[in-house]
Amino acid sequence: SRAVALGPQVVAVAVPWEGLAAVRLLTAALRAGLVVRASDEPFVVNGRSFPAGSLVLPLRPGDRDARERLAGLLASSHAPFAALPSSWVDAGPSFGSRKTLTVPPPRVWLAWDEPTRPTSAGGLRMIVERRFGWPVVPVRVKRLQNLDLSRADVLLLPDGRYGESLDADFAARLKAWVRNGGVVVGFAGALDWLASEDVGLLPSQDELDKAGAGEQAEADGKEEGAAAGPEREPVIADEKAYRARIGVGRPRPPLAAGALMTAFVMQDHWLAPGLKPVVYPLAMLKRLWRPLTVEEGWNVIRYAPAARQPASGVIWPRAAELAAFHPYAMIAPLGGGFVIAVTEDQPARAYQDGLDMLIANAIFRAPQHSRRLR
């Protein structure tokens, strides 16, 4: 621990959103009932620069109890911070602007038991509860059908096969909940259900499935199936083609046993703070999801060109071509809420800790920007 004193001259404390220590300080402050804001953009205050996502904890002059509580949290934290004698911002959004909104304490539900994958659900729970220090309510999928969704703010769907467990009535209630400000975060196999025609929460599709279906229909001479097939293969050759694509095909490539891919992060979106500009997620490449258009949402993390794949491990050259520029993480707004989709099983066994900030942003930053808690 360290000695921290916050005298009456301190009007706020700023904490850079960098690493697990900042996340744990955020959760500790929310549990202590303190007001926490987070900036969508970088800012400079008192001559010091802070990256996007940085926390601002305002202090009222007469609230001695809040000062003591915050000082105690800072003393036991490893997060760097700056005690500010003034709220004047030299550059960037001011502390009272719409780009520095209050972070609400979200109520988080986690889909549990069958049909989720135990390594995915268990890893996700470990990340949020143990690493972040935030409570999670595990809900068995078979009970999820009958529960009142208004009691939750964030629903986490780990990898799994949900199609046979969740019916159309639940899908309709879930869509209404998202429109009212709820946040759904899905991983890997959960996207199949979210993007299915009966659910329609994710405006994307697995282009490999589409390509395979189209080629099979053409081979069988089925005119109707051929018409529904792809108009182009899923290779996105370069940056220009990617931009044209957002404003497929070939059969499924041989599955990778697991390779570390190179991926680019969209640095100016609020789902990205705390992540490096280039990340290296583990990918199995079982699915390749169509990039969202600018009207549908944002491809916050997308794979780099084929020449940079893989970062480590072995995949077939054709698989690298197919994966290039396709999304790893997407976010689609719906009404007042959001659907966040991670195309691979990122939380499996909780060993990709370099990407934990993506999960932290999904849980804490998405409700900050949704209609539900504001």
pLDDT tens track of the chain, all 374 residues? Answer: 688 889 889 999 999 999 999 999 999 999 999 999 999 999 999 899 999 999 999 999 888 999 999 999 999 999 999 999 998 999 999 999 999 999 999 999 999 999 999 999 999 999 999 999 999 999 999 999 899 999 999 999 999 999 989 999 999 999 999 999 999 999 999 999 999 999 999 999 998 876 544 443 344 444 444 444 445 567 888 888 888 787 744 445 555 678 999 999 999 999 999 999 999 999 999 899 999 999 999 999 999 999 999 999 988 888 899 999 999 999 999 999 999 999 999 999 999 999 999 999 999 999 999 987 65
Residues 6+ apart with CB under 8 A from 4: 71, 72, 74, 75
Q: What is the domain range of residue 299?
A: 108-369
311 shares a domain with 180: yes
Name the domain boundary from 38, 68, 102: 102
The pLDDT, as a whole number, for residue 214 is: 43
Hey, which residues does 186 pair with through a beta bridge? 157, 341
The pLDDT, as a whole number, for residue 224 is: 42
280 shares a domain with 165: yes
The pLDDT, as a whole number, for residue 316 is: 86
The residue to which tokens 């202090």 are assigned: 59
Q: Count Cα atoms within 13 angstroms, Cβ side, for 320.
A: 18
148 shares a domain with 74: no
154 shares a domain with 71: no
Identify the CATH number of the domain in which residue 285 sits: 3.40.50.880
Q: How many domains does the chain have?
A: 2
Name the domain boundary from 70, 102, 134: 102
**Closest to 275 measured CA to CA, from 374, 346, 181:** 346
Whether the CB-CB separation of 82 and 46 falls below 8 Å is answered with yes
The pLDDT, as a whole number, for residue 209 is: 74
161 shares a domain with 90: no
The pLDDT, as a whole number, for residue 117 is: 96
117 shares a domain with 96: no
146 shares a domain with 25: no
The pLDDT, as a whole number, for residue 143 is: 94
Q: Does residue 92 sit within a domain?
A: yes
Name the domain boundary from 49, 79, 102: 102
Whether the CB-CB separation of 158 and 111 falls below 8 Å is answered with yes
What single letter denotes the amino acid at residue 126?
Answer: M
119 shares a domain with 19: no
CA distance linking residue 58 with residue 61, whole number of Å: 10
78 shares a domain with 145: no
184 shares a domain with 295: yes
